[in-house]
Structure 1
Amino acid sequence: MRVVIQRVSKASVTVDDQIVGAIDQGLLLLVGITENDGEEEIQTLAEKVVRMRIFEDEKGKMNRSLLDLGGAILSVSQFTLYGDCRKGRRPSFMAAARPELANLLYERFNEQLRSYGAEVKTGIFGAMMDVSLHNDGPVTILLDSHDLVKKKLS
């Protein structure tokens, strides 16, 4: 799994001119899933996301997590995070999970985030979405569960 995390003051997702998900202060997550992902990747990334200290404390240091802040998450499925641009001019998305599996794992990831007490809003899986955000900082982090899971095994 790959997740692009953006710290936001607000964010929303619109489908067919209707807002389907919106948050104020919190995290916008762009979530990409590959065929090899499973429960271990979901658990590792969900815990990392909610506990990552990327919000400022009273001294201006990044010492607070989403859980400390009581912020919300807007989670958006993004298969293009597995776009391979090494060959040619058009990205290949062969590494992205098939839609049926990706949707199942994406929903499971959102459930895992909620299990930590986070409020989670979403876009609509597979839909053409307009994502709007006010990046706070800006702070943008890229997580790849395969890197994190390998570290746990070392």
Structure 2
Amino acid sequence: MIAVIQRVSEASVKIENAVSGEIQNGLMILLGIEESDNEEDIDWLSRKIVNMRIFNDESGVMNNSLLDIEGEILLISQFTLHASTKKGNRPSYIKAAKPDIAIPLYEKMLNSLDILISTNIQSGEFGADMKISLVNDGPVTIILDSKDKK
């Protein structure tokens, strides 16, 4: 499971020109799920995300977590994070999980995050054509891969 995490002052997702989710201060997360991902990946990744100290404290040092600032989350599924670009110019998405595997894992990730934080969690729609808007605060962008946890 790959997550691209962006610290944002605001973020939103539109589907068919209608806002389907929006947050203020918090994290916008692009989540890529592959065939081999499981609940262990969800548990590790969700805990890492909410506890990562990437928000400024009163001294301006990145020392606070999402939990500390009571920040919000916007979670977006993005199979293209598993693109292979080794051959040719057209990416291959062979590692990306098919919907029958990815959708339940995406929903479990939403649930896991919801259990860990008490604030607003918004999401896109799996498989939809989405338009994402955000203001990256910092900028701070971090990539986490659950296969690299050791």
TM band (smaller chain): over 0.9
AA at the equivalent of 1:18: A
**Structure-2 residue corresponding to 1:110:** 110
Q: Distance in 1 between matches of 2:134 and 2:3?
A: 16
TM-score by length of structure 2 reads 0.98
Q: Distance in 2 between matches of 1:75 and 1:63?
A: 23
Q: Distance in 2 between matches of 1:99 and 1:30?
A: 16
**Structure-2 residue corresponding to 1:97:** 97
**Structure-2 residue corresponding to 1:67:** 67
Q: Alignment identity in percent?
A: 52
**CA-CA distance at 1:119 after TM superposition:** 2.4
AA at the equivalent of 1:136: D
Deviation sequence 1:94-146 (CA, Å, 0-9, x none): 00000121111011011000111242100011000000000000000000000
Equivalent positions of 1:139-150 (< 5 A) are 139-148=140-149
**Structure-1 residue corresponding to 2:18:** 18
Equivalent positions of 1:36-51 (< 5 A) are 36-51=36-51
**Structure-2 residue corresponding to 1:2:** 2
- Residues paired across the two proteins, number: 149
Q: Distance in 2 between matches of 1:85 and 1:137?
A: 29
SS at match of 2:88: coil
AA at the equivalent of 2:143: L
Q: Distance in 2 between matches of 1:69 and 1:113?
A: 15
Deviation sequence 1:18-41 (CA, Å, 0-9, x none): 000000000000000000000100
Q: Distance in 2 between matches of 1:7 and 1:86?
A: 30
Query: Which runs of 5 or more structure 1 residues have no equivalent in the other structure?
Result: none
Deviation sequence 1:79-108 (CA, Å, 0-9, x none): 000000011100000000001211110110
Q: Distance in 1 between matches of 2:14 and 2:129?
A: 9
Equivalent positions of 1:113-132 (< 5 A) are 113-117=113-117, 118-132=119-133
Deviation >3 Å, runs of 4+ = none
RMSD of the alignment, in Å? 0.6
Deviation sequence 1:43-87 (CA, Å, 0-9, x none): 000000000000000011100000000010000000000000011
Query: Which runs of 5 or more structure 2 residues have no equivalent in the other structure?
Result: none
